[in-house]
Structure 1
């Protein structure tokens, strides 16, 4: 199916789709073992793309947002969970369900109109917001009447 056959949301999903790791690359698999994939919401507005990720318990110093290969947005963390053991002897956890994100890595191929030099990121109340501004579209062509002299 060509891009012309897809609707606009299909095109955006294709362009902003998560880049999956290639399982045949064994050195990457060993390097990325234990890395989780965090769900993300992507909002397409007239002026920007906004990425939303829930990252409870992470501080801004534990999150890295970069651009690779001029058009790939990379969001990652190498945080390791710290266990809060009790000071009392003989105490142990019976259940650990509140797992904050540990290591994670997400990559997104950005559309051509993304302005990679105008990206901002902030983490507030456990939610990471990454804003990628769009380039202003070129002016639409204008028809000029030709005068005959």
Structure 2
């Protein structure tokens, strides 16, 4: 799949920010009309997530949000174990291919999954008249 987007290191450009979570997995689906990115963001709301285009062809997905712990309502409550992973900061960058339509991007966050859809340009067909000499 990475060959569609250029060299692998160009396609998935991780942040150099050491504090960002670089292990957030992403699934990318190539359909005839779109590129669809799926990212697990448990416990984050849509207001915690930012999806932007930088440098005309780089999709950037970031979050500085942190999942809030459910505190006990009664005094004297405390956690005995904390195993659920908190996403913390997320920063992922993807260089988009030439046929990506950056003006046709949508994003939704539902049930802990961020779905970003990047439309594709429809190929333009040009008819060339052939002359006989």
TM-score scaled by length of structure 1 = 0.75
**Pair 80,69 (structure 1): closer, same or farther in 2 beyond 3 Å:** same
Task: Considering fraction of residues, name the structure with more helix.
Answer: 1
Can you give the 5+ residue segments of structure 2 that lack an aligned partner in the other structure?
none
How many residues are paired up?
A: 129
Change (3 A) 1:36 1:50: same
**TM-score, normalised via structure 2 length:** 0.83
Superposition CA RMSD, Å: 2.2
**Deviation by residue 1:40-86 (Cα, 9 ceiling, x = unmatched):** 00001111100001111111111100000000000011112333333
Task: Report the CA distance shift for 1:18/1:147 in structure 2 as closer, same or farther (over 3 A).
Answer: closer
Q: Secondary structure at the match of 1:85?
A: coil
5 Å matches for 1:137-148?
137-139=123-125, 142=127, 144-146=129-131
Task: Please tell me whether Structure 1 or Structure 2 has the larger radius of gyration of its CA atoms.
Answer: 1
Query: Could you say which structure has the higher strand fraction?
Result: 2
Q: Tell me, yes or no, if the aligned pair for 1:55 and 1:100 is still in contact at 8 Å.
A: no
For structure 1, the residue ranges without an aligned partner over 5 or more in a row are 1-8, 23-28
User: Which stretches of structure 1, 4 residues or more, deviate above 4 A after TM superposition?
Assistant: 141-145
Q: Matches of 2:82 and 2:50 in 1, distance apart?
A: 26
Of the three residues 96, 99, 108, the one matched with 1:122 is 108
